[in-house]
Chain A
Amino acid sequence: MAGDKHAVVVTNVTKHFKKVAKRREYTTFKSELVRFIKGDRGVNEPTQYIEALKGVDLVVPKGSTVGIIGRNGSGKSTLLKLITGIYAPTSGTVQVNGRISALLELGAGFHPDFSGRENILINGIILGMSRAEVKDRMEEIISFAELGEFIDEPVRTYSSGMFMRLAFAVATHVDPELLIVDEILSVGDEHFAKKSQAKMTEFKTSGKTILLVTHGLDAVEKWCDLAVWIDGGKTRLMGSPAHVVAEYRRAVNAAEAQDAKTGHSALSAPGLALPEMVTPPSAQESLRAVSVSVVDGSGQRPQAFLADAKLDVLVDFEATVAQAGECSVDVQTADGRLLFSSIFLTGSLPVGTGRARMTIARLGLGEGSWTIAASVHAPGATPMTAATTSFLVAPHPGTGLVRLQHTWSVEGRPPEVDAPVPGQPVARA
């Protein structure tokens, strides 16, 4: 079977939940009685469903670490519950090979009146270990949790950090073939966070399969071999973490920009799909950006731009119908935050290709990597396609996101002092 190479194969899975509240009205005895007297037996009322998943495909190869990203309400947790077997899919199939340990919530079944040691036993068994296995690993778990003599105190006396440490310690000592983790990597203080990361690395290097849901995009890029972006209940993109994360950030930025401009977007309600960014070439767009490039004053593209240099943004576009156009250029930080955005109305454009040029007399950006996203579209329309390019800004004295144009001078300098006094403002480049 082909599935043997994969730890998890999810094929076209959908999941519907019955809506509980009827017509925004809480079901009470009174409301039921009123309905009954009115003769409304609720027979004609169509049951409403919430479509949490609308067709998700996912393949987790054995031994890989896969990160699932997406907005709140996009269906990530529902997907995990389906893979774990807590929910059954409405349609489609979920195939899992190997022993699963799911860390959907830390400390499932902890009893506050019991000691740490007793809770380790019960929690370990709940998570799928045998009694003997738990007893074997008891000391290991206790030393990992770093609770000292508190281990024999009732759990209700623990601080929340101690509680989480204990729960995390048990959960990671289950020794599963497939570890499913829902947003729990940030447990405890700096020291314990490092320890938990080391534990995850140990899992990874020992060839275990890890399925990770997180909002920590950096973690996905750092840890995962494969990233999956779930959006609006569907698999939106599956591929290399860097690529998927970049696309995700781009879509969120686009939605934010749309939100800022129009006051409404996919962000206004939970679970809505983010605006589509990548459109197949066949899409009917009469005006679109084909590519974007950046050059310095001499028309060259250097390895890194100087912060004070001139910069030209060249946007190549293509029009299949003669029409007016709107050209926009966004400058984004490496992690996708919008720094600056500019829009230019081009006036009537002929059919064919063309080039828009935005000239920045002085770049003025801080050191590091920057992204330019450019689009050309009909005025007022939502850009469907954006062309992007990245460039570096060379190191320069000073730090920060931007390099503002500035000069230094010192006034009222005490005449006796020749050398700069520590703590006093000092002229710098």
Chain B
Amino acid sequence: MIRNLRELYQYRALLWALTVRELKARYRASVLGFLWTFLNPTLSMAVYVLVFGWLMESDTPRFPYYVFSGLLPWIYFSSSVGAGTSAVSERRDLLTKVRFPAQVLPATVVLTNAINFLLSIPLLVLLGLVYRQFPTWHFVFIVPLLLVQTLFTLAITYVLSAINVAFRDLQHIIGNVLQLAFFVTPIIWRLEQVKTVEQQHLVLYVNPIAALVEAWHDVLFRQKVPETMPLLVVSVLSVVMMWLASGVFEQRREEFAELI
């Protein structure tokens, strides 16, 4: 794992160049360009507010702000995993022609989405101001939360992108799994709306991304110190997964160039 991260650091110029290109390329041909970074999550938030806030009359206070504070980390996670799955298998042009550590490719996807996420945080603060919710000192938790979520996302993306090289069906399966994950994560609903405490715990401890999103809600929406226990579980899980994922990558990467 250490070696994997050290190599990422060694190739940071490549990682950064690919990330910058990815950010630039995404909206290059469009008229609104970079504005889409903010428009996309805002518009999905608007859809949920329209359906669940207005039509179904959610009782959550400041519902748009609540949705947004959970949706942004969710988009960071799901976009990374969705695009990261095929990150290695799609770059035949690079992997079979140039030597570089393959983990740069999934890491580029995660870093690109992390930057998008960071860029949308001011938008979230702005939306909070509309609802008279001002940033508190709890915002310092953004840093460790971001770190844990990045480690977790990176680990999952590593494993999926490695498997997808040999088993291409994964990239289609993963879209459906992400859809399921979206609905079992408290983004458009609140954890308190789940009937029993047992069920609440089930959501929190079986679905790591739910624990993360709840922590973001704690910091950004409820303005309190995030619950330690679920977050600790996710942190430990992230480190273990990262360790395993690096091992898988280390073992399989010689085969990548031959298989894709």
Whether the Cβ atoms of B21 and A111 lie closer than 8 Å is yes
In the complex formed, the residue of A with least CB distance to B99 is: A85
Name the distance in Å between A11's Cβ and chain B's nearest Cβ: 19
Q: Given A111-B21, A114-B25, A118-B21, does the pair A125, B13 have CB atoms closer than 8 Å? A: yes
Which of B13, B93, B94 has the largest number of chain A CB atoms within 10 A? B13
Stretch at the interface among A98-106, A240-248, A280-288, A350-358: A98-106
In the complex formed, the residue of B with least CB distance to A127 is: B98
Residue A359, interface by CB 8 Å:
no
| Binary contact track A149-180/B, C-beta < 8 Å → 1, others 0 | 00000000000000000000000000000000
The docked-state distance in angstroms from the alpha carbon of A108 to that of B93 is 6
Name the distance in Å between A104's Cβ and chain B's nearest Cβ: 5
Give residues of chain A (99-124) contacting chain B, Cβ–Cβ below 8 Å.
Answer: 100, 102, 104-105, 108-109, 111, 113-114, 118, 121-122
Whether the Cβ atoms of B13 and A131 lie closer than 8 Å is yes
In the complex formed, the residue of B with least CB distance to A18 is: B258
Which of B16, B24, B99, B100 has the largest number of chain A CB atoms within 10 A? B99
B257's partner among A18, A87, A121, A126 (CB-CB below 8 A) is A87
B97's partner among A88, A105, A118, A122 (CB-CB below 8 A) is A105
Q: Which 3 A-B pairs have the closest CB atoms?
A: A88-B254, A85-B99, A105-B97
Given A108-B93, A125-B13, A125-B14: 20 more A-B contacts, CB < 8 Å: A17-B258, A81-B257, A86-B95, A86-B97, A86-B98, A86-B99, A87-B254, A87-B257, A87-B258, A100-B99, A102-B97, A105-B93, A108-B94, A111-B21, A113-B28, A113-B29, A114-B25, A114-B28, A122-B21, A131-B16
In the complex formed, the residue of B with least CB distance to A131 is: B13
How many inter-chain contacts with C-beta < 8 Å in the A-B complex?
A: 60
Residue B207, interface by CB 8 Å:
no
Residue A84, interface by CB 8 Å:
yes
In the complex formed, the residue of A with least CB distance to B253 is: A88
In the complex formed, the residue of B with least CB distance to A154 is: B28
Whether the Cβ atoms of A125 and B17 lie closer than 8 Å is yes
User: What A residues does B257 contact at CB under 8 A?
Assistant: 81, 86-87
Whether the Cβ atoms of B98 and A108 lie closer than 8 Å is yes
User: What B residues does A125 contact at CB under 8 A?
Assistant: 13-14, 17
Residue B18, interface by CB 8 Å:
yes
| Binary contact track B243-256/A, C-beta < 8 Å → 1, others 0 | 00000000000100
A131's partner among B17, B95, B99 (CB-CB below 8 A) is B17
The docked-state distance in angstroms from the alpha carbon of A86 to that of B254 is 7
Residue A130, interface by CB 8 Å:
yes
User: What A residues does B60 contact at CB under 8 A?
Assistant: none
In the complex formed, the residue of A with least CB distance to B169 is: A29
Give residues of chain B (10-26) contacting chain A, Cβ–Cβ below 8 Å.
Answer: 13-14, 16-18, 21, 24-25
Binding site for A on B (CB under 8 A): 13-14, 16-18, 21, 24-25, 28-29, 93-100, 254, 257-258
In the complex formed, the residue of A with least CB distance to B256 is: A86
The docked-state distance in angstroms from the alpha carbon of A86 to that of B94 is 10
User: What A residues does B99 contact at CB under 8 A?
Assistant: 84-86, 100, 102
The docked-state distance in angstroms from the alpha carbon of A416 to that of B94 is 76
Whether the Cβ atoms of A114 and B21 lie closer than 8 Å is yes
The docked-state distance in angstroms from the alpha carbon of A114 to that of B17 is 13
User: What A residues does B96 contact at CB under 8 A?
Assistant: 81, 86, 104
Give residues of chain A (113-148) contacting chain B, Cβ–Cβ below 8 Å.
Answer: 113-114, 118, 121-122, 125-127, 130-131
Q: Pull 6 A–B residue pairs with CB atoms less than 8 Å apart, ordered by A.
A: A100-B99, A108-B98, A113-B28, A114-B21, A121-B17, A122-B18
B94's partner among A88, A100, A113, A126 (CB-CB below 8 A) is A126
User: What B residues does A17 contact at CB under 8 A?
Assistant: 258
In the complex formed, the residue of B with least CB distance to A85 is: B99
| Binary contact track A7-27/B, C-beta < 8 Å → 1, others 0 | 000000000011000000000
Whether the Cβ atoms of B98 and A126 lie closer than 8 Å is yes
Q: Given A81-B257, A87-B254, does the pair A113, B98 have CB atoms closer than 8 Å? A: no
User: What B residues does A85 contact at CB under 8 A?
Assistant: 99
The docked-state distance in angstroms from the alpha carbon of A81 to that of B254 is 12
Name the distance in Å between A89's Cβ and chain B's nearest Cβ: 10
Name the distance in Å between A144's Cβ and chain B's nearest Cβ: 21
The docked-state distance in angstroms from the alpha carbon of A356 to that of B46 is 97
User: What B residues does A131 contact at CB under 8 A?
Assistant: 13, 16-17
User: What B residues does A122 contact at CB under 8 A?
Assistant: 17-18, 21
User: What A residues does B98 contact at CB under 8 A?
Assistant: 86, 102, 104, 108-109, 126-127
User: What B residues does A121 contact at CB under 8 A?
Assistant: 17
Give residues of chain A (1-47) contacting chain B, Cβ–Cβ below 8 Å.
Answer: 17-18
Give residues of chain A (398-419) contacting chain B, Cβ–Cβ below 8 Å.
Answer: none
User: What B residues does A87 contact at CB under 8 A?
Assistant: 254, 257-258
Q: Given A108-B94, A111-B25, does the pair A126, B258 have CB atoms closer than 8 Å? A: no
Name the distance in Å between B228's Cβ and chain A's nearest Cβ: 41
The docked-state distance in angstroms from the alpha carbon of A245 to that of B258 is 31
User: What B residues does A113 contact at CB under 8 A?
Assistant: 25, 28-29
Name the distance in Å between A418's Cβ and chain B's nearest Cβ: 70
The docked-state distance in angstroms from the alpha carbon of A127 to that of B96 is 13
The docked-state distance in angstroms from the alpha carbon of A18 to that of B204 is 44
Whether the Cβ atoms of A126 and B100 lie closer than 8 Å is yes
Whether the Cβ atoms of A104 and B21 lie closer than 8 Å is no
User: What B residues does A118 contact at CB under 8 A?
Assistant: 21, 24
